[in-house]
Structure 1
Amino acid sequence: MKSTYFTITPRDPVIARDARPFGFGIRMKSLDWPYPSVLAGSLRTMFGKTEKAGDFSPDTVMWLKGLAISGPFPLVDGSLFFPAPKDILLKDLRNDRFEAFPLRPAEMGKGQGCDLPHPGLLPAMLPQTVTEEFKPAKSAPFWSLKTMVSWLTEDTDASFSNRISPVHTGADSLQYPEKDARIHTKIVPERGVADDGMLFETVGLDFTAKRKSVGDQVRIAARMDSNGGCSMVDTLHPFGGERRLAHWKSCAGHTGWTCPDEIKTSVKDSERVRMVLATPAIFTGGWLPGWLGEKNGCLVGSPPGGPDDLVLRLVSACVDRWKPLSGWSLETRGPKAIRRVVPAGSVYFFETEKGSAAALAERCWLQSVSDDPQDRLDGFGLTLWGTWNNSKKGSINDKGMEE
Structure 2
Amino acid sequence: MNDTLQLTFEALDTLFFREALPMDMAGGVELSSVFPPPARTVVGAIRTLIGESRGVDWGEFKQGTSPLNELLGTHEHLGKLRFRGPYLLYRGERLFPVPGLLLRTPRRKNDEQAYVRLAPDLQTPVHCDLGRVFLPGLEQPNPGVQPLEKAFLTGAGLKAVLSGGLPSSEEVIPQTKLYVEEPRLGIGRDVKRGTVIESLLYQTRHIRLGPHPEDGPVQIGMDVGGLEEKILPDSPLWIRFGGESRMASVRQGTPPALPVPDAPAHPRGVLVTLLTHGDFGKDERPGWLLPGFQEETHEGATCWTGTIAGVPLRLVSCVLGKAVREGGWDLAHHRPRPVRSLVPAGSVYFFQVLSGDLRAAVEALHGIHLGHEQAWGRGELAAGYW
The residue aligned with 2:269 is: 272
Whole-angstrom CA distance in 2 between matches of 1:268 and 1:51: 53
The residue aligned with 2:71 is: 63
The residue aligned with 1:30 is: 33
The residue aligned with 2:307 is: 302
TM-score (norm 1): 0.80
The answer on 1:223 being equivalent to 2:236 is no
Q: CA deviation at 1:207?
A: 1.1
The residue aligned with 2:135 is: 123
The residue aligned with 2:7 is: 6
Whole-angstrom CA distance in 2 between matches of 1:63 and 1:352: 39
Percentage of identical aligned residues: 22
Q: Which of 152, 160, 178 pairs up with 1:142?
A: 152
Whole-angstrom CA distance in 1 between matches of 2:63 and 2:224: 21
The letter of the residue matching 1:187 is R
Q: CA deviation at 1:11?
A: 1.3
Q: Secondary structure at the match of 2:354?
A: strand
Alpha-carbon RMSD: 2.8
The residue aligned with 1:393 is: none
Q: CA deviation at 1:199?
A: 2.0
Q: Is the 8 A contact 1:37 1:379 kept in 2?
A: no
Q: Is the 8 A contact 2:272 2:381 kept in 1?
A: yes
Q: Secondary structure at the match of 1:93?
A: coil
Q: CA deviation at 1:92?
A: 1.3
Q: Secondary structure at the match of 2:105?
A: strand
Q: CA deviation at 1:266?
A: 1.9
Once the two structures are superposed, residues 63-93 of structure 1 have per-residue CA deviations (whole angstroms, 9 ceiling, x without a partner) of 3223211112111222111111110221113
Q: Map of 1:41-56 to 2, 5 A cutoff?
A: 41-55=44-58, 56=61
TM-score (norm 2): 0.83
Which residues of structure 2 form unaligned runs of 5+? 73-77
Q: CA deviation at 1:178?
A: 0.7
Q: Is the 8 A contact 1:267 1:357 kept in 2?
A: no
Q: Map of 1:345-364 to 2, 5 A cutoff?
A: 345-362=346-363, 364=365
Whole-angstrom CA distance in 2 between matches of 1:43 and 1:180: 26
Whole-angstrom CA distance in 2 between matches of 1:384 and 1:283: 17
Q: Secondary structure at the match of 2:31?
A: coil
Q: CA deviation at 1:270?
A: 5.5
- Paired positions, count: 360
The residue aligned with 1:88 is: 102
Whole-angstrom CA distance in 2 between matches of 1:380 and 1:180: 28
Which residues of structure 1 form unaligned runs of 5+? 389-403
Q: Which of 88, 93, 105 pairs up with 1:79?
A: 93
Whole-angstrom CA distance in 2 between matches of 1:383 and 1:52: 36
Once the two structures are superposed, residues 362-383 of structure 1 have per-residue CA deviations (whole angstroms, 9 ceiling, x without a partner) of 554443212x2xx111111111
Whole-angstrom CA distance in 1 between matches of 2:230 and 2:174: 33
Q: Secondary structure at the match of 2:341?
A: strand
